[in-house]
Amino acid sequence: MTRLSDTLADLAAAGAVTLREPLDLFAPEGLETPLPLDHLRLLQRSNGLEGYDGYYRLFGLGRGAGMCMQDWNRPALWKGAWQGRADGYLCFGETGWGDQYAYRAGEPGGEVVRIEAFSMEPEPVAGSFGEFMRGVFLPCAVKPRDELTVQARARFGRLPLADHVTFLEPPLAGELDPARVVRMPAVAAMRANAAAFAGR
């Protein structure tokens, strides 16, 4: 089996992923954050990762990261707006829509869940971080399964890490109109989704 680091290098050379400076595992953020060994090894290769022009992201640790995992998980940033629905998870990555990739709190190294941006409903997507990278993140970095993501990238281009794409109004079941997609600051989008969910 090809090593994950070799796959990353190949995808970076092809322009499918953007790598960052490596994490110093002996820095406080590297020592204090409970992550499985293969996850830490990836951050040691690239302290954060972007795929498909920023529409798939892995958070890094500390100030050297493009997006800091510790900061993103602070309740006051956006989780608190969900009134407990986002609690109990360590979010370590996301899609450009705000769907979160996470471990259940206290279970790093266990299964990875995808938490839906408009409801905070969790769905298991992989049994481990390595399985998640090979079966979810890296394939989507090359060709997303979601046609709306392809259309959003064609319309907006590269998505900055501080932004999300979202709908002017959270979509009802089956009503995914690409014309209603906008780009907005990520934190504002996550809070707006929470307010819309509470108002249903």
Ranking 22-31, 43-52, 109-118 by mean pLDDT, the lowest is 22-31
Predicted confidence (pLDDT) at residue 195 exceeds the cutoff of 60: yes
Predicted confidence (pLDDT) at residue 105 exceeds the cutoff of 90: no
- Please return the burial class of 189, using the count of CB atoms within 10 Å of its CB with bins 0-12, 13-18 and 19+: buried
What CATH number is given to the structural domain containing 155?
Answer: 3.40.1580.10
Amino acid identity of 169?
Answer: E
pLDDT digits (tens, 9 = 90+) for 10-32: 888 888 898 888 888 776 666 56
Tally of structural domains, the chain: 1
pLDDT at 196: 87
Which structural domain, as residue segments, surrounds residue 68?
A: 4-198
pLDDT at 174: 57
Task: Please choose, from the candidates 23, 52, 20, the residue with its C-alpha nearest in 3D space to the C-alpha of residue 35.
Answer: 23
Q: What pTM does this model have?
A: 0.92
